Structure 1
Amino acid sequence: MNRRIATLVAALVPVVVLGVVGTVITVPFAALGPGPTYNTLGDADGAPVVQIDGVDVDPTTGHLNMTTVAVRDQLNIFEAFGFWASGRQGLVPREEVYPPDKTKEEVQEGNQADFEQSEDSAELAALHHLGLPVVLVVGAVAPDGPAAGLLNEGERLVSVAGEPVDSVTAVRESVSARSPGDSIDIVVEKDGTTRTESVVLGARPDDAEQGYLGVTPAEEPDVPFTVKFNLADVGGPSAGLMFSLAVVDKLSPGELSNGDFVAGTGTIDSNGLVGPIGGIPYKLIAAREAGATTFLVPASNCDEAVQNAPDGLQLVKVDSLDGAIDSLEAIGVGGEAPKC
């Protein structure tokens, strides 16, 4: 082998080694970036994203888009560098997305459970806003709690300790106001039959001086129609606000979007309170690239949103479903909405 060939081989070997290492070895990071957006007033895979059956719905146009974050895992060195250099994605330690004490499947199952809970909360928040009826039921009974064997899952809670109850908070306040060892009457109803059970309260695990019933109360819709959310392969709780807005829009006259392209994000509870989410910079990019001109931002995410807002996207600060609706109505008549 002459000197020229030897020099060429010596120069190529590190390049080949680097190429192999860069494509084979994975890095302990995950890439976050803009994910798909879905119009909650439209269709996905041939079905309405928010489907309401059993009642006439109000025609809607425009957009109320929920936004998502795309997660890419098992990156090699070159992929990780490419995502970092793009300016549209960010790298985070993999353990922030997939904790080391859980499998990837367990994380995905948890995200799916959060998504389904957000659907339930979104429907209840919308019904509360519209003044439509919900009922309070026994959601779960602790197998070793004071009410075990006396109350059953699915029974409607009528009264606790002689006081009518119509909210989860009312049950908790009534029970916690009493002491362990107190006996209280619980009136429940199932299939038209009402009965009373006397339950001797135990002590709360986190406060030995407060009464403990061992029941998880839950709200359920009490309306002659059904609400179904048709989105697959989406996880987490952050679609709650936009789902709730879509239900309100379809069940009430007028258009919340005013025919415009509105996007947003935010968790929601059954009382309509909006909570913070993760990945706001990527959701803003996804919304603007999809065509949104207004973005509903949970109040706690406003600082980060302002720092990462794309040009042409109006940021509206929201802390509740009622506030979000008020803001959209104000925008629709040329008024001002709270801004980040």
Structure 2
Amino acid sequence: MLASLLMLIALLCAGALMPVPYAEMSPGPSYNTLGTHQGECVLQISGQKGCEGTGGHLNMTTVRVTGSEYKMNLVEAVYGWLAHDDVVVPHSTLYPDDKTPDEVSQENAEEFTQSQESAKVAALRALGKKVTSHVIVAVVQRDKPAQGRLHAGDVIKAVDGTAVRGPEDVAKLITKHKPGEKVSFSLVPAKEAAAAERRNQEPTRQKTVTVTTAKAEDGRAIVGIQAGVDYTFPLKIDIKLADVGGPSAGLMFALGIVDRLSPGDLTGGKFIAGTGTIDEKGLVGPIGGIQMKTIGARKEGARYFLTPQENCKAAAADVPDGLTLVKVHTLDGALKALKQIRAGDTAALPKCAKG
């Protein structure tokens, strides 16, 4: 009996320490978009020196996750399920089986870069400043007809003489052809476009490039490019924040830029945090890990949390004491909410409600 008991205990211990296919999310640090990080201003804007002054905060928030190689055991999983500040999720939620860890990191980095560009566009347009968009060659696929003919960064003005207004126009015009036919691109070379952007000018010199289409697996005519959008800004804005990924900082970057380019301050000296994606039109979108972000923000001192409308229900299910969840759907709506906070008119704030 003693031997059997010891064997049972050993099996239970071994089972508890066996790896399980789960990962953990927990509150990460937040960063004041109006302040500094590692000795540098988070927002660096041409013509401005320094970034301290108002004493207020517009903090973007993050979620800390376990690494792709981390092997969680059953005891750790159970502890995470019971803990208030942590969330245990399937490992594939953070690291999909069809992507390598490097691909996940690269995707997060690209989303973070795109969120910065969208934040700049939305903020500057909200301030009435002109931002010009360009359709560009974003990717040239290897071993496809466009390789060596078109280059990443080339500005596409027209396809077969028809002006393009968005990336979708490029694909439509190419697929009007049959495989083997020639398609003509009117474009500004990438180097010319980059030089014009550094001068804050519109690129002007164009050339025509002809590419013979190939046949895709589904029978469509292709040349092997992906079109995207680039912008010419009226001033230079750099966002200096390393080791952060994903698109969820867009809203707070946009608000930080508006604050830095406007008289006075948006916060009224208050500690405000938030999250949310943003597009070029100022539309705020949902993000993941909302409860981790509200917990982290409150721990660092936030009193108000700008919450994407679609995340309100989940966030309101467990609100940290002393934190007011403010529902936002657009950049303009967030700016209006900040005005109410500055004025002390908090009763009128659009707040997240349970259910």
Report the RMSD for the aligned CA atoms in angstroms.
3.7
Matched, 1:120 2:132: no
Structure 1 pair 288–226 and aligned structure 2 pair: CA distance change class (3 A): closer
Residue 338 (str. 1) matches residue 336 (str. 2): no
Deviation (angstroms), 1:120? 2.1
Gaps of 5+ in 1: 1-5
Q: Give the whole-Å Cα distance in 1 for the aligned partners of 2:145 and 2:350.
A: 47
Contact 1:146 1:214 in 2 (8 A): no
- What CA distance in whole angstroms lies between the structure 2 residues aligned with 1:275 and 1:198? 38
The CA deviation at 1:175 is 7.9
Change (3 A) 1:61 1:208: farther
Could you tell me the TM-score, scaled by structure 1's length? 0.79
* Aligned partner (choices 253, 261, 266) of residue 256 of structure 1: 266
How does 1:53-202 map onto structure 2 within 5 Å? 53-55=46-48, 59-72=53-66, 73-130=70-127, 131-140=129-138, 152-156=151-155, 169=166, 172=168, 180=176, 186=186, 188=188, 190=192, 193-195=204-206, 197=208
Instruction: Find the aligned partners of 1:95 and 1:174 in 2 and give their Cα distance.
Output: 35
| Cα separation, 2, equivalents of 1:331 and 1:161 | 53
Describe the shift of the 1:230–1:275 C-alpha distance in structure 2 as closer, same or farther (beyond 3 A). Answer: same
Q: What's 2:320 paired with?
A: 310
Kept in 2, the 8 Å contact 1:51–1:229? The answer is yes
Task: Give deviations 1:202-236, integer Å, cap 9, x for gaps.
Answer: 89x8x999x9996614122333423232232x221
Is 1:236 the equivalent of 2:233? no
Alignment length (residue pairs): 329
Distance, in Å, in 1 between the alignment partners of 2:157 and 2:172 is 18
In 2 relative to 1, CA 10–333 (structure 1 residues): closer, same or farther, beyond 3 Å? same
Q: Deviations over 1:261-320 (max 9, x none)?
A: 111111112222211111111111111111111111111111111112222211111122
- Secondary structure at the aligned position of 1:34 is classed as strand
Alignment of 1:208-223 (within 5 A): 216-223=227-234
- Bigger Cα Rg: 1
Work out whether residues 57 and 251 of structure 1, in 8 Å CA contact, stay in contact via their aligned partners in 2: no
Aligned partners of 1:266 and 1:125: how far apart in 2? 13
Instruction: For structure 2, list consecutive stretches of 5 or more residues without a partner in the other structure.
Output: 196-202
For normalisation by structure 2, the TM-score amounts to 0.76
Identity of aligned residues (%): 41
Moved more, 305-314 or 187-196: 187-196
Look up the equivalent residue of 1:128 and give its one-letter code: R
Q: Give per-residue Cα distances to partners, 1:125-182, cap 9 Å, x unaligned.
A: 22222224334242436559998877654344567788877xx54x646985999259
